[in-house]
Chain A
Amino acid sequence: AQKITQTQPGMFVQEKEAVTLDCTYDTSDQSYGLFWYKQPSSGEMIFLIYQGSYDEQNATEGRYSLNFQKARKSANLVISASQLGDSAMYFCAMREVLSGGSYIPTFGRGTSLIVHP
């Protein structure tokens, strides 16, 4: 079973509007971390936002916010006031303690976001 599921292969949004990118995860651990990364066409992965499993408030970083619903195991990324430069692939990732005791993050397949002028 996939640890991280991103069900939207592609999303389109009008410039200046908000968009939500979905992410659900699967873990039996109580302690884990959730990340979102942006990968523009240049290829480099850029860290956007982090949510710890014990954080009670939703994380926010500028125009990015994470809608964390622990009971539903979802960690959706909300981008407000979309800009043309937001067009990129977006990856959700989770870090948990694996059976061998390591902490290797698992990444979803990504969502391609295109912002229209």
Chain B
Amino acid sequence: GAGVSQSPSNKVTEKGKDVELRCDPISGHTALYWYRQSLGQGLEFLIYFQGNSAPDKSGLPSDRFSAERTGGSVSTLTIQRTQQEDSAVYLCASSLIGGIGKNIQYFGAGTRLSVL
């Protein structure tokens, strides 16, 4: 597709269950970012992939969160043993390259996660 695609668009789960969120970046984009946006808040950085380099995981809030990027393209964010405070919109973005400069991030529509 032409843009960043995220699935599912909505996910309702029970506390304690694991969830997987998918991001399909724009073809050819080497940089991929995951953010979390809680209601009425800005974007909280979670993890960043750049090409074949080791990901920057400095924003992951706990060891229940993990992410991988296969073949330099599709990424999956996994949340294990979900908690109610994990409820948020999870946004994925990609850019042509990482680094400083006008490397515009293109965002997906997000996955709204609700943990009951």
Contacts and interface: CB of A to CB of B under 8 A. Distances in A.
Contacts of A95: 100, 103
A43 B109 contact: yes
Given A42-B109, A95-B100, 8 more contacts: A33-B101, A45-B91, A46-B107, A50-B104, A102-B56, A103-B98, A104-B56, A107-B42
A10 to B, nearest CB: 11
Interface in A68-107: 91, 93, 95-97, 100, 102-107
Interface in B70-116: 89, 91, 93, 98-110, 112
B58 A52 contact: no
Interface residues of B, number: 28
A37 B89 CA distance: 17
Contacts of A105: 33, 45, 105
Interface of A: 4, 31-33, 35, 37, 42-47, 50, 52, 91, 93, 95-97, 100, 102-110
Contacts of B61: none
Contacts of A109: 41-42
A104 B102 contact: no
Secondary structure at chain A's binding surface: helix, strand, loop or mixed?
loop
Contacts of A46: 107
Q: A35, A45, A109 — which one has the most chain B CB atoms within 10 A of its CB?
A: A45
Interface of B: 33, 35, 41-43, 45, 48, 50, 56, 58-59, 89, 91, 93, 98-110, 112
A52 B102 contact: yes
B100 A103 contact: yes
Given A100-B58, A104-B45, A109-B42, A44 B108 contact: yes
B56 A100 contact: yes
Nearest to B46: A104
Nearest to A96: B100
A60 B73 CA distance: 32
B1 to A, nearest CB: 13
Q: B42, B45, B106 — which one has the most chain A CB atoms within 10 A of its CB?
A: B42
Contacts of B41: 109
